[in-house]
Structure 1
């Protein structure tokens, strides 16, 4: 099942929006023309992670920036500063298995859609 969450090109690169799909809050992000949808729940402490800042890792780094070369591709949780790769959902701390829960996104001339599995 596909749920329309935005009009075509409604989000610019680096933008985000919180959307509600089937009673779930998701963060919709556009990075380099690609869309990503992540559940708005941090795996660490259930914080609303998608309302956090979109950051990057360029010199000089701050204490929580774990990797370089990811400008505007890092989501920082507003509660405890955990950082996630917006393309993969993976937590950026070395050795961490924590990951955001994501959903496929399809975009075409008619809109941007989050794809949900039928259950």
Structure 2
């Protein structure tokens, strides 16, 4: 698989999302408590942009009337119909057996290692001689 640089770590605050385009695909990038996750930006229900949805937690209850919120900031709610998806896996919380959003592997790497490629342009020594810039070939 090809690797693509999609953002700098400091471009995306915790709890926020960012739309990126990779190889012609719209991908929603999320920062969940300092970890980065990416899912397809398209809701499988009717195609809404997931990165425009609300990042939420999971409401759980062991009995009626006793609701607690867990997994804060780990789910994305579709902005059109409220379907919720796990940001980490793409799994649907509306129909987990059959519906999911494509998820992508994300890693954080040092910038120098990514920007330095296998090719190198030829360089030449440059100096200043009085008021002139001089290159030596």
Task: Please tell me the TM-score bracket, short chain as reference.
Answer: 0.7 to 0.9
Distance 1:17 1:94 in 2: 25
Q: Please give the per-residue CA displacement for 1:17-53, whole angstroms capped at 9, x wherever unaligned.
A: 0011111111000112211111111111122122111
* Two-structure CA RMSD over aligned residues (Å): 2.4
Name 1:20's counterpart in structure 2: 21
Structure 1 residues 96, 68: closer, same or farther in 2, change over 3 A? farther
Which residue of the partner structure matches residue 43 of structure 2? 42
Q: How many residues matched?
A: 106
Q: Which has the higher contact order (CA 8 A, sep 6+)?
A: 1
State the TM-score, normalizing by the size of structure 1: 0.77
* 1:102 to 1:9, Cα distance in 2 relative to 1, 3 A: same
Aligned to 2:32: 31
Residue 79 of structure 2 is aligned to residue 78 of structure 1? yes
Displacement over 4 Å in runs of 4+ = none
SS at match of 2:51: helix
Which is greater in Rg? 2
**Structure 1: stretches of 5+ with no match in the other structure:** 60-66, 114-119
Report the CA distance between 1:95 and its aligned residue.
5.0
Q: Give 3-state SS (helix, strand or coil) of 1:9's partner.
A: helix
Cα displacement string for residues 52-109 of structure 1 (whole angstroms, at most 9, x for unaligned residues):
11112358xxxxxxx8411111100011110011111111136542111111111122
CA gap 1:25/1:95 in 2 versus in 1, 3 angstroms: closer
